[in-house]
Homo-oligomer: A and B are copies of this chain.
Amino acid sequence: MAGTKDGDGSGGATGGATGRCGAKPVARRLLATATRLFAEQGYDRTSVQEIVDAAGVTKGALYHYFGSKDDLLHEVYGRVLRLQQERLDHFADADAPVEQRLRDAAADVVVTTIENLDDTKIFFRSMHHLGAEKDKQVRAERRRYHERFRALIEEGQRTGVFTDAVPADLVVDYHFGSVHHLGTWYREDGPLGPRQVADHLADLLMRALRP
Protein backbone atom coordinates (compact mmCIF):
# COMPACT_ATOMS: atom_id res chain seq x y z
CA MET A 1 0.00 0.00 0.00
CA ALA A 2 2.07 2.87 1.27
CA GLY A 3 5.76 3.47 1.08
CA THR A 4 7.23 2.02 4.23
CA LYS A 5 4.06 0.48 5.55
CA ASP A 6 4.67 -2.88 3.97
CA GLY A 7 7.40 -4.79 5.69
CA ASP A 8 10.13 -4.92 3.13
CA GLY A 9 8.65 -3.57 -0.06
CA SER A 10 11.47 -1.75 -1.74
CA GLY A 11 13.96 -2.02 1.12
CA GLY A 12 16.89 -3.25 -0.88
CA ALA A 13 16.71 -0.53 -3.47
CA THR A 14 16.93 2.47 -1.17
CA GLY A 15 20.20 1.28 0.32
CA GLY A 16 22.70 3.42 2.18
CA ALA A 17 22.80 4.19 5.87
CA THR A 18 19.37 5.81 5.83
CA GLY A 19 17.54 2.53 5.37
CA ARG A 20 13.87 2.66 4.46
CA CYS A 21 11.84 5.82 3.98
CA GLY A 22 14.85 7.44 2.36
CA ALA A 23 13.22 10.06 0.21
CA LYS A 24 9.98 10.75 2.10
CA PRO A 25 10.77 13.74 4.24
CA VAL A 26 7.72 13.40 6.45
CA ALA A 27 8.43 9.76 7.23
CA ARG A 28 12.03 10.65 7.98
CA ARG A 29 11.07 13.47 10.26
CA LEU A 30 8.63 11.28 12.10
CA LEU A 31 11.19 8.57 12.60
CA ALA A 32 13.80 11.02 13.86
CA THR A 33 11.36 12.64 16.25
CA ALA A 34 10.13 9.32 17.53
CA THR A 35 13.67 8.13 18.07
CA ARG A 36 14.51 11.16 20.17
CA LEU A 37 11.38 10.93 22.25
CA PHE A 38 11.61 7.19 22.77
CA ALA A 39 15.18 7.63 23.98
CA GLU A 40 14.28 10.48 26.30
CA GLN A 41 11.10 9.13 27.81
CA GLY A 42 10.86 5.47 26.92
CA TYR A 43 8.58 3.87 24.39
CA ASP A 44 5.56 3.40 26.63
CA ARG A 45 5.79 6.90 28.06
CA THR A 46 5.76 8.50 24.63
CA SER A 47 2.34 8.96 23.09
CA VAL A 48 1.66 9.02 19.39
CA GLN A 49 0.22 12.47 19.93
CA GLU A 50 3.50 13.73 21.34
CA ILE A 51 5.37 12.38 18.36
CA VAL A 52 3.16 13.96 15.76
CA ASP A 53 3.00 17.25 17.63
CA ALA A 54 6.78 17.36 17.86
CA ALA A 55 7.12 16.44 14.20
CA GLY A 56 4.53 19.01 13.19
CA VAL A 57 2.20 16.63 11.41
CA THR A 58 -1.07 14.91 12.26
CA LYS A 59 -1.75 11.42 13.43
CA GLY A 60 -3.18 10.48 10.09
CA ALA A 61 0.16 11.24 8.47
CA LEU A 62 1.98 8.99 10.89
CA TYR A 63 -0.41 6.14 10.24
CA HIS A 64 -0.08 6.74 6.56
CA TYR A 65 3.58 5.87 6.75
CA PHE A 66 3.76 3.50 9.69
CA GLY A 67 1.30 0.77 10.42
CA SER A 68 1.49 1.25 14.15
CA LYS A 69 3.50 2.72 16.96
CA ASP A 70 5.33 -0.58 17.11
CA ASP A 71 6.37 -0.20 13.52
CA LEU A 72 8.18 2.98 14.40
CA LEU A 73 10.13 1.06 17.01
CA HIS A 74 11.02 -1.56 14.45
CA GLU A 75 12.39 0.92 12.02
CA VAL A 76 14.74 2.09 14.75
CA TYR A 77 15.77 -1.47 15.52
CA GLY A 78 16.26 -2.28 11.89
CA ARG A 79 18.51 0.69 11.32
CA VAL A 80 20.76 0.05 14.26
CA LEU A 81 20.97 -3.70 13.65
CA ARG A 82 21.89 -3.27 10.01
CA LEU A 83 24.43 -0.62 10.79
CA GLN A 84 26.21 -2.59 13.48
CA GLN A 85 26.29 -5.82 11.54
CA GLU A 86 27.80 -4.03 8.57
CA ARG A 87 30.53 -2.50 10.67
CA LEU A 88 31.35 -5.72 12.48
CA ASP A 89 31.59 -7.58 9.19
CA HIS A 90 33.89 -4.93 7.87
CA PHE A 91 36.35 -5.18 10.76
CA ALA A 92 36.14 -8.95 11.17
CA ASP A 93 36.84 -9.49 7.49
CA ALA A 94 39.91 -7.28 7.50
CA ASP A 95 43.32 -8.62 6.64
CA ALA A 96 45.08 -8.31 10.00
CA PRO A 97 46.09 -10.40 13.01
CA VAL A 98 43.13 -11.52 15.09
CA GLU A 99 44.06 -9.34 18.06
CA GLN A 100 43.95 -6.34 15.77
CA ARG A 101 40.65 -7.32 14.22
CA LEU A 102 39.03 -7.92 17.59
CA ARG A 103 40.36 -4.69 19.02
CA ASP A 104 39.12 -2.68 16.07
CA ALA A 105 35.71 -4.31 16.15
CA ALA A 106 35.40 -3.85 19.91
CA ALA A 107 36.37 -0.20 19.70
CA ASP A 108 34.19 0.48 16.69
CA VAL A 109 31.03 -0.83 18.27
CA VAL A 110 31.64 1.59 21.12
CA VAL A 111 32.03 4.54 18.79
CA THR A 112 29.03 3.56 16.70
CA THR A 113 26.94 3.08 19.80
CA ILE A 114 27.87 6.47 21.18
CA GLU A 115 27.20 8.11 17.86
CA ASN A 116 23.75 6.55 17.79
CA LEU A 117 23.16 6.63 21.49
CA ASP A 118 19.44 7.35 21.18
CA ASP A 119 18.86 4.38 18.95
CA THR A 120 20.82 2.03 21.12
CA LYS A 121 19.19 3.24 24.31
CA ILE A 122 15.85 2.43 22.76
CA PHE A 123 17.12 -0.84 21.46
CA PHE A 124 18.26 -2.17 24.78
CA ARG A 125 15.47 -0.73 26.87
CA SER A 126 12.51 -1.60 24.73
CA MET A 127 13.47 -4.88 23.19
CA HIS A 128 11.01 -6.63 25.47
CA HIS A 129 8.09 -4.81 23.86
CA LEU A 130 8.44 -6.79 20.69
CA GLY A 131 5.67 -9.16 19.76
CA ALA A 132 6.60 -12.84 19.57
CA GLU A 133 6.98 -12.80 15.80
CA LYS A 134 9.28 -9.83 15.38
CA ASP A 135 11.06 -10.74 18.58
CA LYS A 136 12.25 -13.94 16.95
CA GLN A 137 13.51 -12.06 13.95
CA VAL A 138 15.42 -9.51 15.99
CA ARG A 139 16.89 -12.20 18.22
CA ALA A 140 18.08 -14.09 15.18
CA GLU A 141 19.87 -11.05 13.78
CA ARG A 142 21.25 -10.31 17.21
CA ARG A 143 22.56 -13.85 17.57
CA ARG A 144 24.27 -13.66 14.22
CA TYR A 145 26.06 -10.55 15.37
CA HIS A 146 26.99 -12.12 18.66
CA GLU A 147 28.35 -15.24 16.97
CA ARG A 148 30.50 -13.34 14.60
CA PHE A 149 32.09 -11.54 17.51
CA ARG A 150 32.55 -14.74 19.46
CA ALA A 151 34.23 -16.38 16.50
CA LEU A 152 36.97 -13.78 16.68
CA ILE A 153 37.59 -14.55 20.32
CA GLU A 154 37.60 -18.28 19.73
CA GLU A 155 40.03 -17.86 16.89
CA GLY A 156 42.41 -16.02 19.20
CA GLN A 157 41.95 -18.62 21.91
CA ARG A 158 42.74 -21.44 19.48
CA THR A 159 45.84 -19.72 18.20
CA GLY A 160 46.98 -18.94 21.71
CA VAL A 161 46.97 -15.15 21.56
CA PHE A 162 44.03 -14.98 24.01
CA THR A 163 43.58 -16.83 27.26
CA ASP A 164 41.03 -19.57 27.26
CA ALA A 165 40.46 -19.34 30.99
CA VAL A 166 37.08 -17.76 30.31
CA PRO A 167 34.41 -19.08 27.90
CA ALA A 168 34.24 -17.00 24.74
CA ASP A 169 30.48 -16.57 25.15
CA LEU A 170 30.92 -14.95 28.49
CA VAL A 171 33.57 -12.61 27.15
CA VAL A 172 31.20 -11.43 24.45
CA ASP A 173 28.53 -10.72 27.03
CA TYR A 174 31.10 -9.01 29.20
CA HIS A 175 32.05 -6.60 26.49
CA PHE A 176 28.51 -5.99 25.25
CA GLY A 177 27.45 -5.35 28.77
CA SER A 178 29.73 -2.35 28.82
CA VAL A 179 28.50 -1.24 25.39
CA HIS A 180 24.88 -1.59 26.44
CA HIS A 181 25.68 0.34 29.60
CA LEU A 182 26.98 3.37 27.71
CA GLY A 183 23.48 4.72 27.38
CA THR A 184 23.28 4.91 31.14
CA TRP A 185 26.34 6.98 31.85
CA TYR A 186 27.87 8.47 28.72
CA ARG A 187 27.35 12.22 28.37
CA GLU A 188 28.30 14.17 25.27
CA ASP A 189 29.72 16.93 27.42
CA GLY A 190 31.69 14.53 29.63
CA PRO A 191 35.48 14.44 29.88
CA LEU A 192 35.99 11.70 27.31
CA GLY A 193 35.07 11.69 23.63
CA PRO A 194 33.69 8.62 21.82
CA ARG A 195 37.07 7.63 20.48
CA GLN A 196 38.74 7.83 23.89
CA VAL A 197 36.05 5.81 25.58
CA ALA A 198 36.27 3.29 22.79
CA ASP A 199 40.02 2.98 23.18
CA HIS A 200 39.78 2.48 26.88
CA LEU A 201 37.05 -0.12 26.67
CA ALA A 202 38.81 -2.00 23.89
CA ASP A 203 41.93 -1.81 25.97
CA LEU A 204 40.22 -3.36 28.95
CA LEU A 205 38.96 -6.18 26.79
CA MET A 206 42.35 -6.88 25.29
CA ARG A 207 44.01 -6.76 28.69
CA ALA A 208 41.46 -9.19 30.09
CA LEU A 209 42.19 -11.58 27.24
CA ARG A 210 45.97 -11.56 27.64
CA PRO A 211 47.04 -15.13 28.30
Contact = CB atoms under 8 A, between A and B. Distances in A.
- Name the interface size band of chain A: 35 or more
A178 B174 contact: yes
Contacts of A184: 124, 173, 180
B163 A207 contact: yes
A204 B174 contact: yes
Interface in A161-211: 163, 165-167, 170-171, 173-174, 176-182, 184-185, 192, 197, 200-201, 203-205, 207-210
A204 B128 contact: no
Contacts of A197: 170
Interface of A: 1, 41-42, 44-45, 53, 124-125, 128-129, 163, 165-167, 170-171, 173-174, 176-182, 184-185, 192, 197, 200-201, 203-205, 207-210
A45 B125 CA distance: 13
Copies in the complex: 4
10 contacts: A163-B207, A166-B203, A166-B204, A170-B192, A170-B197, A170-B200, A173-B185, A177-B177, A204-B208, A205-B208
4 A-B pairs closest in CB distance: A177-B181, A177-B178, A44-B44, A177-B177
Contact of A42 (B41, B128, B171): B128
Nearest to A42: B128
A163 B210 CA distance: 14
B53 A200 contact: no
B180 A129 contact: no
A182 B177 CA distance: 8
